[in-house]
């Protein structure tokens, strides 16, 4: 079988990819609006017109409704829902996690998904919540893995997902991912993370997702189960998540909430509609609030901003500026910033995946000091072999004659060869006054360079000499 998932462009651990399904090829990252087969707040054809390329629905709900079940088997899922593009189906695992029990056997619900021609089928995994005992996480993971092994052994007419569980234990997540990868699933959802996202535990989310990604390797398509709020698309995409599902657009609308990429707002507390989607263009705040169609209109706005953010993420991956987007998105909530700082600690991992970048490096905040380019340079700086008289200076200026080597100094990189000043990433746009994080990193690099070149004699012409640089 040709590769079902092809990666076209990369930035950080994120990528633009192409996933082949029986109902067409989907470009990722992709947001799948969740469709409830019982009550379609926005009917599927409407979702398609709004720009949804793919949707997700729940096979368990269809299976448990005698009328829907018969129609799904007779007509197929796509006719039933009214959507021609790819449809992913979930298994009822979520109902299992909420109600503790469901009335169907694991292989039965998987066979049903095959029978109704779902494009991506999900076996009945066990969504272990965060913070449970290690024993529980391990025993539930064993059961999930056993079911997944059975599922993987079947002849499959469509794509098969292998959910990665393991609660908040990164080692279990990584191990689970490694185990499932051997069984060649087509898509790997990271499951059991909805409670983390609901409670804004983005640092733990990064822990869990990066662990799973390390176990999977970079080639596998990853779905982040239940990630529907646009404020986390940049962060999740930067970790290498490719598929997202949004029930949020409808759930929040029912609660009367207005989604933005910076968080969730209540219309009662707003004065303006800071958005140009068709809903916000066609209504002012008062009209929106008083409309009998209020929930539907909110759902439409919520979905428009979500789809828009996904496109922006793609554009940023394409031009190599995802980190910049990440920094601005993660400035909108302290917990998101915690998530970004945690991801910054994965500099080495990101550095190994990150394609060389095209767009200018912008130093936007202390988080920019953790960017892969900075980590990469810190690892390579000792490779410079210098002898004789070396000048380290802020900028070109005059009086560089008589030196064997001239290095410019720019935090967070520290010293770099003058010849590279127009070259990425040293052509970075940085603030006039470097912050502490940038200065510290620059000082560390300077120290490494000096120690690696004992035969060279260093002179400095710097506005401020970083502390601990150890000049002689
Ligand atoms: N929906 C949200 N979380 C999960 C999960 O862990 N497993 C499945 N199958 N569906 C989910
Ligand atoms: Zn809007």
Dump pLDDT digits (tens) for 146-183.
Answer: 999 999 999 999 999 999 999 999 999 999 999 999 99
CA distance 296 to 55: 18
Point out the ligand 1 atom lying closest to the alpha carbon of residue 127. Answer: 6
What's the pLDDT score for residue 397? 65
Point out the ligand 1 atom lying closest to the alpha carbon of residue 90. Answer: 9
**What domains are defined for the chain?**
5-346 (3.20.20.105), 360-461 (no CATH)
> Tens digits of per-residue pLDDT, 212-249?
999 999 999 999 999 999 999 999 999 999 999 999 99
Ligand sitting nearest the alpha carbon of 308:
2
Question: Ligand 1 test: best mutation among 109, 163, 236, 248, most atoms within 8 Å of CB?
Answer: 163
Q: Residue of the nearest CA to atom 5 in ligand 1? A: 191
Does the pLDDT of residue 94 top 90, yes or no? no
What's the pLDDT score for residue 468? 53
CB 223 within 8 A of CB 241: yes
Q: Which residues are catalytic?
A: 90
Point out the ligand 1 atom lying closest to the alpha carbon of residue 161. Answer: 9
Point out the ligand 1 atom lying closest to the alpha carbon of residue 92. Answer: 9
What's the pLDDT score for residue 400? 75
Lowest-confidence region among 137-141, 194-198, 355-359, 430-434: 355-359
What's the pLDDT score for residue 464? 73
The beta-carbon contacts of 372-377 under 8 Å, at least 24 apart in sequence, are: 372/12, 372/323, 372/347, 373/424, 373/425, 374/347, 374/412, 374/413, 374/425, 374/441, 375/347, 375/348, 375/350, 375/351, 376/351, 377/413, 377/416, 377/425, 377/445
What's the pLDDT score for residue 472? 39
Mean predicted confidence (pLDDT) in 89-116: 90
CB crowding 216-253: b at 16 or more within 10 Å, else e: beeebbbbbbbbbbbbbbbbbbbbbbbbbbbbbbbebb
Lowest-confidence region among 107-116, 414-423, 447-456: 414-423
CB 28 within 8 A of CB 38: no
Does the pLDDT of residue 101 top 90, yes or no? no
> Ligand 1 centre from 127 Cα, in Å?
6
What's the pLDDT score for residue 357? 61
> Tens digits of per-residue pLDDT, 275-329?
999 999 999 999 999 999 999 999 999 999 999 999 999 999 999 999 999 999 9
Ligand sitting nearest the alpha carbon of 147:
1
Mean predicted confidence (pLDDT) in 49-69: 97
Q: Which residues line ligand 1 (CB under 6 A)?
A: 90-91, 93-94, 122, 125, 127, 163, 191-192, 194, 225-226
Q: Grade residue 470 by pLDDT with cuts at 50, 70 and 90.
A: very low
> Ligand 1 centre from 270 Cα, in Å?
33
Question: Ligand 1 test: best mutation among 58, 60, 94, 229, most atoms within 8 Å of CB?
Answer: 94
Mean predicted confidence (pLDDT) in 119-126: 97
> Ligand 1 centre from 21 Cα, in Å?
21
Does the pLDDT of residue 442 top 50, yes or no? yes
Token pair 């052509």 is found at 427
Mean predicted confidence (pLDDT) in 447-451: 94
> Ligand 2 centre from 216 Cα, in Å?
37
CA distance 207 to 212: 9
CA distance 16 to 8: 6
Question: Is beta strand 263-265 parallel, antiparallel or unpaired with respect to 258-260?
Answer: antiparallel
Q: Grade residue 471 by pLDDT with cuts at 50, 70 and 90.
A: very low
Mean predicted confidence (pLDDT) in 98-125: 93
* Averaged pLDDT score across all residues of the chain: 93
> Tens digits of per-residue pLDDT, 266-284?
999 999 999 999 999 999 9
What's the pLDDT score for residue 1? 47
């Amino acid at each position: 079988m040709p590769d079902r998932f092809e990666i076209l462009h990369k930035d950080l651990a994120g990528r633009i990819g192409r996933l082949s399904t029986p109902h067409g090829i989907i470009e990722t990252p992709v947001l799948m609006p969740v469709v409830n087969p019982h009550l379609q707040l926005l009917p599927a054809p409407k979702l398609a017109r709004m720009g949804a390329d793919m949707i997700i629905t729940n096979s368990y709900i269809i299976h448990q409704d005698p009328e829907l079940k018969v129609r799904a088997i007779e007509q197929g899922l796509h006719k039933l829902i009214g959507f021609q593009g790819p449809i992913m189906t979930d298994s009822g695992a979520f109902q299992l996690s909420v109600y503790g029990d469901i009335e169907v056997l694991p292989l039965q619900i998987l066979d049903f998904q095959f029978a109704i021609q779902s494009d991506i089928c999900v076996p009945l995994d066990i969504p272990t919540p965060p913070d449970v005992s290690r024993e529980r996480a391990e025993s539930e993971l064993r059961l999930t893995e056993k079911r997944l092994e059975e599922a993987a052994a079947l002849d499959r007419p469509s794509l098969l997902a292998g959910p990665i569980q393991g609660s908040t234990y990164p080692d279990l997540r990584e191990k689970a991912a490694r185990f499932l990868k051997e069984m060649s699933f087509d898509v790997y959802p990271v499951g059991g993370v909805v409670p983390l996202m609901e409670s804004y535990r983005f640092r733990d989310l990064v822990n869990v997702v990066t662990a799973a990604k390390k176990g999977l390797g970079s080639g596998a398509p990853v779905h982040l189960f239940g990630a529907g709020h646009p404020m986390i698309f940049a962060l999740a995409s930067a970790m290498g998540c490719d598929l997202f599902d949004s029930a949020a657009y409808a759930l929040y609308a029912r609660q009367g909430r207005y989604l933005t990429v910076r968080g969730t707002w209540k219309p009662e507390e707003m004065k303006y509609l800071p958005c140009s989607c068709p809903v916000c263009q066609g209504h002012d705040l008062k009209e929106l609030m008083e409309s009998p169609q209020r929930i539907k209109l909110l759902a439409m706005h919520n979905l428009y901003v979500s789809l828009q953010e996904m496109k922006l993420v793609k554009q940023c991956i394409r031009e190599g500026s995802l980190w910049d987007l990440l920094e601005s998105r993660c400035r909108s909530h302290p917990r998101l910033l915690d998530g970004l700082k945690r991801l910054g600690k994965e500099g080495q991992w990101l550095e190994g995946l990150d394609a060389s970048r095209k767009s200018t490096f912008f130093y936007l905040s202390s988080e920019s000091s953790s960017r892969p380019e900075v980590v990469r340079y810190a690892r390579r700086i000792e490779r410079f072999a210098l002898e004789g008289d070396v000048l380290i200076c802020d900028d070109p200026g005059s009086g560089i004659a008589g030196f064997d080597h001239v290095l410019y100094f720019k935090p967070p990189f520290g010293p770099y060869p003058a010849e590279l000043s127009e070259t990425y990433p040293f052509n970075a746009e940085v603030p006039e006054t470097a912050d502490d994080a940038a200065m510290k990193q620059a000082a560390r690099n300077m120290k490494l360079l000096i120690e690696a070149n004992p035969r060279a004699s260093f002179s400095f012409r710097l506005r401020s000499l970083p502390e601990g640089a150890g000049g002689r």
